[in-house]
A and B are shown apart, each in its own frame.
Chain A
Amino acid sequence: MKRFIGFIKKEFYHIFRDRRSLFILFGMPIAQIMLFGFAITNEINNVDIAVLDHSKDATTEEIINKISASKYFSINQFIEKESDIDAIFKKGKVKAVLNFEKDFSKNLIKDHNATIQIVTDATDPNTANTISNYVNAILIQYQSVLNKDINITYQVVPETRMVYNPELKSVYMFVPGVMTIILMLVSAMMTSISITREKELGTMEILLVSPIKPIQVIVGKVFPYIFLSIINAIVIVILSIYIFKMPIQGSLILLALESVLFIITALALGILISTISETQQTAMMISLMGLMLPVILLSGFIFPISSMPLPLQLISNIIPAKWFNIIIKGIMLKGVGIQFLWKETLILIGMSVFFIALSVKKYKIRLE
């Protein structure tokens, strides 16, 4: 036990004396959460649009006013002819053009039918889609005002309610995702680097020719990072509660326990990486390429897993981050308890046990 404590003490010296890594360790979560929370967002705000109004009557004016009054759009300019649409998109000044047909009011009264063309710049398909949806929503609203005196006998009215995140704030989606990435990266990358550093410096040679047991080395390496990762998780949760007003619906204790579980899974993965890489650089490359990308792409954090092709869906099952993402969203947004998350929890436990067993088995008691 004394040996073990001595080893952990040494690990903390390494961590606290490497100022640059320490800065990255604690700076990265804050920077990432700010980035994802503020800069990277799916919502639209004050999108510049142009209007091509062929009729210039009372109705079109009313619609234009409604659109420009919303916080989503600001009307950048009015154009006069169809050929200007292409030109204005090429300049990149606006994201969409509203094209009102000729005699808009007249048609509306006479034929009960008038058309608006919504032309969007689909170089960014997501934004284009969102813009057209938002314009549609405003038009539908306007229509219902127009029709309020008329009784339509048969009508299907969809009433949409967005549960768990009624305002569709993208930060709610990113916080769990960022937390997953950070915990995965810090835990896996840092441990794998710290073990391979011993190999690179040759100190592993001396450690091997000493009575210290493999399990003591492994646990001794992992222990300080469990501690640091927990601090990181706490920082992320505090930031999301106080800066992004993210509600934590479920139990904080459960959240903490599940996070510790995920940290252990990630650390175990880090040890496994270190047993197969000889240099710090390889360890870092494997952690970055082998962990960061799958975590971002296949965990369901940005792209929904259900819309992926089947092979990718199957691969996503072996990514611990996927299961943690389900757990953390469940706790934070839905407020569910362990009775709904036991399956995911068991999977994570299973993965940790598997990784640790494999790395203890693969830990070299000699140099080759």
Chain B
Amino acid sequence: MSITVSNISKSYKSVKALENIYFNVKEGELFGLIGPDGAGKTTLFRILTTLLIANEGSATVAGFDVVSDYKKIRNNVGYMPGKFSLYQDLTIEENLNFFATIFGTTIKENYELIKDIYVQIEPFKDRRAGKLSGGMKQKLALCCALIHKPKVLFLDEPTTGVDPVSRKEFWDMLKRLQQKGITILVSTPYMDEAALCDRVALIQDGKILQVDAPNAIVKHYSKQIYNISAHNMYLLINALKSYKYNHSVYPFGEFVHYTDQRADFNPENLKVYLESKKLSQIVIKNTEPTIEDTFMELAK
């Protein structure tokens, strides 16, 4: 096991940030921590990177205890905090050089590991980090976290505030790093990114909702979901919410995801109801549940 977390709890004064968190991450796994803002993801990351001490429970990273062996962990992990945390007044190359030096290595020594990512920002290596675009900052931060060839990589919301193209690129990079044998723990508030992980833990309000592979999590979803669209989204949602048999109604892109309480639900009845509410161009189709649907259901 690369990371083990058992019954970790942490509170700040009166606020409970984490409650009985448990999960294990296997060696070489790409593990996702999925949850909305304020779910406790950053706190958990800080506990695992030895920056905070949990009130209860224990955890190990790369085989070392996060409290007693914190120095060894600090030698063996790469950490990319949620907030961009490099020296803005240093250039790309200087930043990378600095982090290589303090980890007792050189860019040359581990160039192979960062090559794929670094070549993309290398043309700007004399530019100061503060003047880079969001995507480039992200790549630089990842390079800096990787330069000492860590056994475990912690990425706290690496794709927040990054455009969709860069996000996709970033996940491709993570997949390649995983193939090099690095265990990766990544957190994200984006449900669609969950499907890209080997396994995920859904977390909300400091509690774990479920830990499993993304497709397994989706299978747990027992109800049939319907994609519904009509000429007016707002009226549609209102109509569905006031429908007495509704189980859940969530806007999902251009559709509304709808589930019904009844086992013998007939979409035709719903269509009649919606038409009575003066909606037109009504389309109701079966669809497969996504992680987001599962999350919403579990978080209910």
In the assembled complex, the CB of B134 is this many whole angstroms from the nearest CB of chain A, namely 16
In Å, the complex CA distance between A91 and B86 comes to 62
Q: B51 and A205: CB pair below 8 A?
A: yes
B103 near A: Cβ within 8 Å?
yes
A14 near B: Cβ within 8 Å?
yes
Question: Which residues from A are CB-within-8-Å of B51?
Answer: 205, 208-209, 366-367
Q: Which of A201, A211, A367 contacts B85 (CB 8 A)?
A: A201
In the assembled complex, the CB of B12 is this many whole angstroms from the nearest CB of chain A, namely 9
Q: B79 and A3: CB pair below 8 A?
A: no
Of A5-13, A31-39, A239-247, the stretch lying at the interface with chain B is A5-13
Q: Which of A211, A366, A367 contacts B103 (CB 8 A)?
A: A211
In the assembled complex, the CB of B152 is this many whole angstroms from the nearest CB of chain A, namely 11
Question: Which residues from A are CB-within-8-Å of B263?
Answer: none
Q: A203 and B87: CB pair below 8 A?
A: yes
Interface centre among B85, B89, B90, B102 (most CB of A within 10 A): B102
**Range of interface residues on chain B?**
20 to 34
With both beta carbons as reference points, the residue of chain A lying nearest to B73 in the complex is identified as: A209
Q: A13 and B102: CB pair below 8 A?
A: no
Q: Which of B70, B84, B94, B102 contacts A7 (CB 8 A)?
A: B102
Q: A211 and B53: CB pair below 8 A?
A: no
With both beta carbons as reference points, the residue of chain A lying nearest to B87 in the complex is identified as: A203
In the assembled complex, the CB of B95 is this many whole angstroms from the nearest CB of chain A, namely 9
In Å, the complex CA distance between A17 and B52 comes to 33
With both beta carbons as reference points, the residue of chain B lying nearest to A13 in the complex is identified as: B90
Per-residue 0/1 for A120-136: is the Cβ within 8 Å of any B Cβ (1 yes, 0 no)? 00000000000000000
Q: A211 and B71: CB pair below 8 A?
A: yes
Per-residue 0/1 for B42-80: is the Cβ within 8 Å of any A Cβ (1 yes, 0 no)? 000010011111000000000000000011001101010
Within 88-110 of B, Cβ neighbours of A (below 8 Å) are at 88-90, 94, 97-99, 101-104
In Å, the complex CA distance between A314 and B85 comes to 45
Q: A18 and B81: CB pair below 8 A?
A: no
Question: Which residues from B are CB-within-8-Å of A368?
Answer: 52-53
With both beta carbons as reference points, the residue of chain A lying nearest to B154 in the complex is identified as: A209
Per-residue 0/1 for A166-200: is the Cβ within 8 Å of any B Cβ (1 yes, 0 no)? 00000000000000000000000000000000000
B300 near A: Cβ within 8 Å?
no
Q: A209 and B102: CB pair below 8 A?
A: no
With both beta carbons as reference points, the residue of chain B lying nearest to A5 in the complex is identified as: B101
Q: A201 and B88: CB pair below 8 A?
A: yes
In Å, the complex CA distance between A365 and B53 comes to 11
Q: A211 and B89: CB pair below 8 A?
A: no
In Å, the complex CA distance between A10 and B52 comes to 27
Which residues of B come within 8 Å of A, CB atoms?
Answer: 46, 49-53, 70-71, 74-75, 77, 79, 81, 83-90, 94, 97-99, 101-104, 144
- Pull 15 A–B residue pairs with CB atoms less than 8 Å apart, ordered by A: A3-B104, A6-B98, A6-B101, A6-B102, A9-B98, A10-B94, A14-B89, A203-B87, A205-B79, A207-B102, A210-B74, A211-B74, A365-B70, A367-B52, A368-B52
